[in-house]
A and B are shown apart, each in its own frame.
Chain A
Amino acid sequence: NAGVMQNPRHLVRRRGQEARLRCSPMKGHSHVYWYRQLPEEGLKFMVYLQKENIIDESGMPKERFSAEFPKEGPSILRIQQVVRGDSAAYFCASSPGERALYEQYFGPGTRLTVT
């Protein structure tokens, strides 16, 4: 069984560019979560999505950040006009369903560096 896959593993962007982070959940999982870990800080929830729907985006910055989980294909976290403060590790997690939302399986993360 393949685990949660994220790509790219490392991403370097210049200030003002766009970053697109992809996440493929575990097979059979339709619930996806994104978390961010700033350098030397803890993990912070960003957004929770089910197929084609954003369920909870209470942790998403109000501007420049968006997420989607289309019917077909991976979930995408998009950061427009990146700034140095966006440099962080971004982790995606998936869960098996309604009765186990807190049992989440994490990917290896994407390390974003903004220069």
Chain B
Amino acid sequence: DAKTTQPPSMDCAEGRAANLPCNHSTISGNEYVYWYRQIHSQGPQYIIHGLKNNETNEMASLIITEDRKSSTLILPHATLRDTAVYYCIVNRGTSYGKLTFGQGTILTVHP
């Protein structure tokens, strides 16, 4: 599974879009990009995933570059409740669903 690199922390003003980057330059053609978040002391929460097309759901949008070497998770209107650690995970689908969490990005949303 490809290695991912995320900034350790980011800030965002409430109501503004939060754009969280993830670098996965060694991603291979059949690997998906998954995003999870963990709000303090809670269980992680699945957000979204994609292969090569941009994806959108009720929580967020996922933009994957054409070369697939990086992606951006977009929370369109961040709220204080979006303060959490965000994890970008790349998986080939051959590890039986074993998620490997890195350090993630601590997103702090300010009033």
Contact = CB atoms under 8 A, between A and B. Distances in A.
Contacts of A44: 101
Tell me if B's interface is mostly helix, strand, loop or mixed.
loop
Contacts of A42: 101-104
Nearest to B97: A101
Interface residues of B, number: 23
Contacts of A107: 43
B97 A106 contact: no
Interface string A71-115: 000000000000000000101010100000111111111000000
Contacts, number: 63
B96 A104 contact: no
A91 B41 CA distance: 11
Contact of B46 (A45, A59, A105): A105
**Interface residue range, chain A:** 20 to 34
A1 interface: no
Interface of A: 4, 31, 33, 35, 42-45, 48, 55-56, 58-59, 89, 91, 93, 95, 101-109
15 contacts: A35-B101, A43-B44, A43-B99, A43-B101, A59-B98, A93-B43, A93-B44, A95-B97, A101-B96, A102-B34, A102-B89, A102-B99, A104-B99, A106-B45, A108-B42
